[in-house]
Structure 1
């Protein structure tokens, strides 16, 4: 059945539920789990005349959120006896969906567990939907969790 389960984490309550579902699935199927956090850094103006671009600061909020979410996943894997790994990926200006599609291929995931962000209106129009992009671009099954569902 499933040998490699990828779960997308971001520190939100929905992502915690997705992590729990991924752990349950992995325990039943004896699968390996990889928790992935895509780090998006705010765009910055850079003086290209100096020849150096400022690197991400260690106390960058996005990096801190990734560390917390991935530590939580690692702790959960250890507590449940699930074989798991964690991975933070910097998007470097790419869309989250593009980064995730590449990570899916690299991990050779059999299924992806994620929380479906329920954005609507103009925000969805301009931001796009990671879920929709993954549905269009991959044949890997998606297990989607929504708010308020058990």
Structure 2
């Protein structure tokens, strides 16, 4: 049960809480992790809007930061005695869910563990929800870990 656990991480406190939960689960099941990070040039370009094309230096910095995020997560898993590898995807993508779906099939994963901000209302409507997209498209179970900054229930 849950021998291959895919964990998308972006370095945010919420994604790191997801990683911590994935490590605990892998310890219980004897599973292994694949840590996944996405460097998305399309989002960066669209975010800059009228400021024009972004510098290659900015993209290089994003790649280096992505490698550091993966390295730190990998070290955290190893320190807990959990086997882990990493994957960084670079290029033009608009949705994390597409990358997760691709990795689930390619690796293949038994479970996806994903930190979520737990936004509701206007915040969710304006920002969208990567977690929701993953849940809707993923062919394997998805464990959503609400961050400590998540909105408290009404």
Interval containing the TM-score (normalised by the shorter chain): 0.7 to 0.9
Runs of 5+ consecutive residues of structure 2 not aligned to the other structure: 150-154
Secondary structure class of the residue paired with 1:135: helix
**CA shift for structure 1 position 62:** 2.4
**CA shift for structure 1 position 86:** 0.9
Runs of 5+ consecutive residues of structure 1 not aligned to the other structure: 47-53
**CA shift for structure 1 position 90:** 1.7
- Quick check: which one's helix share is greater? 2
Identify the residue that residue 31 of structure 1 maps to in structure 2.
Answer: 31
Give the whole-Å Cα distance in 2 for the aligned partners of 1:112 and 1:92.
22
Counterparts in 2 of 1:135 and 1:86: CA distance versus 1, 3 Å: same
1:71 equivalenced with 2:71 (yes/no): yes
**CA shift for structure 1 position 64:** 3.1
Give the whole-Å Cα distance in 2 for the aligned partners of 1:126 and 1:73.
29
When the two chains are superposed, the root-mean-square deviation of aligned CA atoms in Å is 2.4
Identify the residue that residue 140 of structure 2 maps to in structure 1.
Answer: 140
Secondary structure class of the residue paired with 1:82: coil
TM-score for both structures, normalised by structure 1: 0.80
Give the whole-Å Cα distance in 1 for the aligned partners of 2:33 and 2:110.
10
Q: Is the 8 A contact 1:91 1:99 kept in 2?
A: no
**CA shift for structure 1 position 75:** 0.8
TM-score for both structures, normalised by structure 2: 0.79
